[in-house]
Amino acid sequence: MPLHPRTCSLLYSISCLLDALDGLAARHFQQSTKFGAVLDMVTDRCTTACLLVFLASAFPRWSIVFQGLISLDLASHYMHMYATLSMGGSGQSHKKVDESRSWVLKQYYSNNAVLFTFCAMNELFFIALYLLSFSSPLLSPTLLKSPDSPTSLTPGTPAAPKPSMLFTSPWSAGAMEYARANKMDSTVPWILACVSFPVMFGKQIINVIQLVKASKWLAEGDKNARRQQGLTRRKTKAKKNA
């Protein structure tokens, strides 16, 4: 990620496309399993988190935003998966959502085209930001400065790393790739970022809805369990005695 933006973007994109195909392959060969469903979600979360961690270091002023996105992504999917397994039964898929519980999540998980579009555009936006960190002086002002020019940034920070921290030789393969990366044109990444941003933003809204609905579902389960154990009645009696 730090040295080969073109190669990284290509491999990351291929990984995202294969992620959409593995479920189809599992269903076609009748190899769908609970382990596969959980592994698929966990792998997605880890992949996105890795990219967001790099973006947090590439844009340190916006690191709290990327940290929030990582937290929201992990929390919402974990709560949804746990609520589905504990409240809906061990055999229920996390993609099977009752419309009465959430119409938005029902449309999101039941329509493969909608699910693929939101996930693909979400990843596309972050890939575009990743490429812009190498090509856009607007987002990365250090691209405008040569290594010998004075800068107000503290050397050694993520925004202005010391050359010796990255490469032992200015003619190394990594240094040459970094130089080529800085000459990347930012037009296409900007277009991709602008086109995919609305869908990415919508995906975060869906994550919030998913987190809230799963939390309420688990709370309902706790409430019913306490009622069955008589804990609510004891609390009521204690109030009357007081």
Q: Which of 19, 22, 40, 44 is catalytic?
A: 44
* Per-residue pLDDT tens over the stretch 180-232: 555 678 889 999 999 999 999 999 999 999 999 999 988 988 888 888 887 76
Q: How far apart are CA 54 and CA 41, in angstroms?
A: 21
CB 154 within 8 A of CB 58: no
Indicate the pTM of the whole model. Answer: 0.76
| Residue among 200, 218, 222, 221 nearest 75 (CA) | 218
Angle 58-176-191 from CA coordinates, rounded to 5°: 50
* Per-residue pLDDT tens over the stretch 97-122: 777 788 888 888 888 889 889 999 99
Quick one: residue 93, left, alpha or beta (phi over 0 = left, psi -120 to 50 = alpha)?
beta
Q: In the annotation, is 44 catalytic?
A: yes
Q: Is 146 strand, coil or helix?
A: coil
Q: How far apart are CA 155 and CA 163, in angstroms?
A: 9
